[in-house]
Chains A and B, each alone.
Chain A
């Protein structure tokens, strides 16, 4: 009896988590898959017909937005690496006893809600707001010059909103580097640049990789930044899905687009992992 119990123990331990996943991951996914293959309208209801054509139509109609989202996500991610690496590097190696304080300062703005922060950027950057207004008054900028509604505003919003998700993993990777390894490199006549390139960078790469996972995926599927800071020519795929679900109630198209986005992101992430020579994506992400 007790032997059986011992044998079952690991499965019992997995049970709560497993049930949770089943309930809140598997069931919604299957429901969504089913929805994407249904036909009908919101008044008369949708019925399952195995209609794959929805996928073809959805991609045909909204491929521009899909590519645009991936492009914005990629640009934002690259900008994030460029911005976050020096910050993480400085905190990890020069932060001294105040490391925790610096990290806290970095996170402080993010105690305010995501949407609220984005909207406040809208207030700051608006056409006649505190930044552009005075510049227009003294004639430095044309009357119709604007920042809001441009791809720049949307990408800048993405970079701003996802900054900690890049800084923290990179910081964790850099922080664990044993200073003696760097000293050893210097002892072997590596100049600082070589030591950085050959020792620090390779050791930091898993952190960068984790950061990319945590920023590229949500940035590409984000819909708040484009909705608040963008215009009709910066529409991202997340907005399309949101509108299809919550404005037109065209559930099949919305679900199909969700699956397409998910597939594209998964393929992208695995290709990237392969290119980087990282065999096990999840293992790296977990570090």
Chain B
């Protein structure tokens, strides 16, 4: 006890002398503390030149990279037959094993999740990620997180991809991405519950469906519908339009019409009867109906819907980049693309599939025949010119600041 006591005195003795210069020390301490605070900055990967990469970027990235026997794929739910027949065929043909994970539910969280690893030049555990052409695509691109693709190693893509998919506005020349599939954002509903046909966006604001309406929590998806219902083209919208749209969306919430904002989980909410009518992605409803024997419907609203593209991209730190390219190219074989489209019911980037699907339908019997014929004629898988006319593209934000302004308008709506 005594020794403890004296040790306290010893320490006080050791520190007392410095107390004389307390002020100087405090100032110094403060200065070094704020220097420390400043040192905690988060490094960005800002690289404005990334959109127009150096001519030798492709050669430089792929130099010395060799084929491996495994590929990890990060994808979304409802994007492949759970039995993965295409991947099994791929493995038995090439000997490359594929670990296919449905880890992406929404783009914002996905970017936020992998950003720290990519910024630290660490692998993210995936060699392919399927990302949407929205805001986060630009963030991935501008941060220099995407490997420049060696298009020479994608012969099937070159041969079979539709012309519209070879030069999309968000990635001209397919420098960083090639499309996996496109889809339409529209309205899904349960006719048994709504008791009538749904045709327009305004139905999402109908007080009759109080507490039974779902919307997306992705700010861009949500904002698009808020704008379209007011007759504003999202691509040409101004910050004033955003505020009007946000007010319209808040109205939906404050009147208790809205049940909740959803990510990919909206489809479960629809399946459980939690919502009767909801913002939805085109292929999901078809798969839900097939797998659970439901009778939900999907429509492109009169006021318009949006079309987006989900893209294969290779993270810059991917350890199996070469095999990843092999797998990507495999999905551009018309027969593989046909099988995928027939199951997931999204717009395929390989136009030859429609003919193939019709042939398959002709050869099939029973339920298979019915399903295949329906898919081959479905405007949701093979949209016509008239359908495209009703569809809008995502807004491309010129600068991060513009996107931040947009977020500040719509984020408080989602997090209200």
B7 with A10: CB separation less than 8 A: yes
B272 with A232: CB separation less than 8 A: no
B210 with A127: CB separation less than 8 A: no
A43 to B399, CA, bound (A): 10
CB distance from A89 to the nearest CB of B (A): 39
A146 to B261, CA, bound (A): 16
A43 with B46: CB separation less than 8 A: yes
A232 with B112: CB separation less than 8 A: no
B260 with A232: CB separation less than 8 A: yes
B113 with A246: CB separation less than 8 A: yes
A235 with B112: CB separation less than 8 A: no
A82 within 8 A of B: no
A216 within 8 A of B: no
CB contacts under 8 Å to B, within A242-282, are 243, 245-251
CB contacts under 8 Å to A, within B33-80, are 34, 36-46
Which chain A residues border B253 with CB–CB below 8 Å? 232-233
1/0 per position for A99-111, CB-CB distance to B under 8 A?
Answer: 0000000000000
CB distance from A162 to the nearest CB of B (A): 24
Closest to B263 in A: A247
A157 to B41, CA, bound (A): 38
A204 within 8 A of B: no
Given contacts A41-B401, A65-B415, contact A128 B272 (CB under 8 A): yes
A45 with B112: CB separation less than 8 A: no
A149 to B258, CA, bound (A): 10
A30 within 8 A of B: yes
Checking B6, B37, B261 against A7 with a beta-carbon cut-off of 8 angstroms, the contacting residue is B6
B108 within 8 A of A: yes
CB distance from A126 to the nearest CB of B (A): 5
Closest to B261 in A: A232
B90 within 8 A of A: no
CB distance from B406 to the nearest CB of A (A): 11
A45 with B46: CB separation less than 8 A: yes
1/0 per position for B172-185, CB-CB distance to A under 8 A?
Answer: 00000000000000
CB contacts under 8 Å to A, within B389-416, are 400-401, 403-404, 407, 411-412, 414-416
CB distance from A81 to the nearest CB of B (A): 30
CB distance from A239 to the nearest CB of B (A): 7
Checking B43, B106, B112, B259 against A231 with a beta-carbon cut-off of 8 angstroms, the contacting residue is B259
CB distance from B129 to the nearest CB of A (A): 17
B296 within 8 A of A: no
A8 with B106: CB separation less than 8 A: no
A230 to B40, CA, bound (A): 36
* Size category, A interface: 35 or more
Q: Which among B42, B109, B259 has the greatest number of chain A C-beta atoms within 10 A? A: B42
A247 to B109, CA, bound (A): 4
A163 within 8 A of B: no
Which chain A residues border B193 with CB–CB below 8 Å? 143
Which chain A residues border B115 with CB–CB below 8 Å? 42, 249
Q: Is the interface of B mostly helix, strand, loop or mixed?
A: helix
CB distance from A132 to the nearest CB of B (A): 9
CB distance from B138 to the nearest CB of A (A): 8
A35 within 8 A of B: yes
CB contacts under 8 Å to B, within A35-73, are 35, 37-38, 40-48, 50, 61-62, 64-65
Closest to A136 in B: B273
A129 within 8 A of B: yes
B44 with A46: CB separation less than 8 A: yes
B279 within 8 A of A: no
A6 within 8 A of B: yes
Which chain A residues border B264 with CB–CB below 8 Å? none
A161 within 8 A of B: no
1/0 per position for B18-46, CB-CB distance to A under 8 A?
Answer: 00000000000000001011111111111
A35 with B259: CB separation less than 8 A: no
Checking A7, A11, A146 against B211 with a beta-carbon cut-off of 8 angstroms, the contacting residue is A146
A173 to B308, CA, bound (A): 61
A240 within 8 A of B: yes
A155 within 8 A of B: no
Closest to B209 in A: A144
CB distance from B155 to the nearest CB of A (A): 34
A31 to B38, CA, bound (A): 9
Q: Which among B253, B261, B415 has the greatest number of chain A C-beta atoms within 10 A? A: B415
5 A-B pairs (CB sep. < 8 Å): A6-B3, A126-B272, A128-B273, A149-B211, A149-B274
List the interface of chain A (C-beta within 8 A of B). 3, 6-8, 10-11, 30-31, 33-35, 37-38, 40-48, 50, 61-62, 64-65, 126-129, 143-144, 146, 148-149, 230-233, 235, 239-240, 243, 245-251
- 13 more contacts with CB within 8 A, not counting A143-B193, A247-B112, are A33-B37, A34-B36, A34-B41, A42-B139, A43-B46, A61-B412, A65-B415, A127-B272, A128-B273, A232-B253, A245-B112, A246-B113, A249-B112
